[in-house]
Amino acid sequence: MQILTDTKIEFMAQRKIAMMFSAVLIIISLTSLIFKGMEFGLDFTGGTLLEVEYPQAVELAPIRSALEASKFEGPVVQHFGSANEVLVRVPPIKDVSNAEVSSQLLEVLKQQNSGVEMRRVEFVGPQVGEELTETGGMAMLAALGCILVYVALRFEYRFAIGSVAALAHDVIVVLGMFSIFGLEFDLTVLAAVLAVIGYSLNDTIVVFDRIRENFRKMRKGTAVEVIDSSLNQTLARTLVTSFTTLLVLFALFLFGGKLIHGFASALLMGVIIGTYSSIYVASSVLVAMGVSKEDLTPVKAEGAEQEEIYEEV
C-alpha cells in the first residue's frame, strides 16, 4: 500500500455525484422496505423449527414440495451441517399448537422417507417475535442516539450529524438489500447490522480525527482542500482495514454454512457501504454544513504569546 501514501485524489470534487448515488440507494431501499418488506426469520415471526437427519444425502426440493403439498405455507428447508441433515422451519398455523405442527411435520417427512429421524425441535411464539422486533429496533435507535451525543462532545455538532447520517445511510442500505433480494432477516443479521454500525463509526472517527487535526495545522486551504487532504492521508489505512476484514467475511460467506450466511452477507454489504460512507457521506455532510477552521480553533487567550495555543481534546 506504499503507493497510497502520496495520493492526491479530489474526493470532494465528486461529492455531488456521490450524494446523488447515495440518494438513489436510499430511495430504492426505502421503497423496497415499505412495499415489499423484510423476510423475517423464525426469531421474529414465531413458528416451529425441526432438525432431522436422513440416512443418506437428500435433495431439498422434494422435501419442500412435500411440505407445501401438505398445506404448510412458506416452509424454509435447508441443509444443516451436512447433506443428510436438514433444518425445516414453518410459520405458526392458526388454531394448531406447536406440538401438533411438529408432529405433522415429522409425519410428512417420514411418509417421504421412512429413515428420517428427529434430532431437535424448537418453538417460538409470535409474541416473542414481536418483542424481538421492537427491542431490535430500539437497540439500533439507541446506538445511533448515543453515537450522536458522543461525537458531538468529542468533536463538534456538525461532525455528529455527519457521522449519524453516514450510519443511518449504511443501515438503510443494508436493510434495503436484504429486502430487495429477499434474504432472511433473523437475530444473527440484526447482530451483524449492529456490528456494521460499530465498524462504520470507527472508520468515520479515524477520518474525523485527521480532519480536525488538519484544520488546526494547515494555515492555508479551504474546507474542501483540508478534507481532501485528510481523506488521502487516511486512505491507505481505510483500504487495508476494509480489505483484510472482507477477506475474513468472504471466507465466512463461502464456507461458514447456511446458519451464518445471513450474518456474513450483512457484514459484507456493511463493510463495503461503510467504507464508502466514511469517505463520501460523512465528509460531504461536513462540507454541506459549512464546517470551517474557526469552528475547531479555540479562541486565543488575551495577552498570550504570538504562538497559537490549541486545546488538546
User: Residue 154 pLDDT > 90, yes or no?
Assistant: no
Confidence of residue 164 (pLDDT cuts 50, 70, 90): confident
- Tell whether the model's pLDDT for residue 261 goes beyond 80: yes
DSSP 3-state of 47: strand
Q: Which residues contact 153 (CB under 8 A, 6 or more apart)?
A: none
> What one-character DSSP code corresponds to residue 291?
-
Average pLDDT (216-245) is: 86
Mean predicted confidence (pLDDT) in 151-176: 86
How much is the pLDDT for 298?
57
What number does CATH give the domain 47-124? 3.30.70.3400
Q: What are phi and psi of 292, to 5 degrees?
A: -140, 175
Say what angle helices 187-217 and 223-255 make with each other, to 10 degrees: 150
pLDDT score at 127: 59
Contacts 24+ apart (CB under 8 A), 61-70: 62/112, 63/88, 63/109, 63/112, 66/108, 66/109, 66/111, 66/112, 67/105, 67/108, 70/104, 70/108
CA gap 86, 313 in Å, rounded: 56
pLDDT band for 130, please (50, 70, 90 cuts).
low
- Average pLDDT (209-227) is 83
For residue 115, CA distances in Å to 84, 112, 242 come to 11, 9, 47
Domain boundaries, the chain: 8-39+128-293, 47-124
| Mean confidence (pLDDT) of the chain | 81
Take residue 220 and report the three cell numbers written for it.
Answer: 492555508
For residue 16, the cross-strand partners are: none
Length of the chain, please?
313
Would you say residue 198 has pLDDT above 60?
Answer: yes
User: Which band of pLDDT confidence, cut at 50, 70 and 90, is reported for residue 126?
Assistant: low
More confident residue, 142 or 265: 265
Residues 6+ apart with CB under 8 A from 82: 57
| Residue 64 Cα distances to 81, 93, 144, 242, angstroms | 18, 17, 40, 39
Q: What is the pLDDT of residue 144?
A: 74
310/248: higher pLDDT: 248
Domain covering 8-39+128-293 in this structure, CATH number: 1.20.1640.10
Residues 6 or more apart whose CB falls under 8 angstroms from that of 48 comprise 89, 90, 92, 98, 101, 102, 105, 121, 122, 123
The CA distance from 249 to 233, in Å, is 26
Quick count: other Cβ atoms within 10 Å of Cβ 169? 24
pLDDT in tens, 26-42: 999 999 999 988 887 77
In the prediction, which pLDDT does 303 show? 46
Least confident interval from 49-63, 115-129, 147-161, 298-312: 298-312
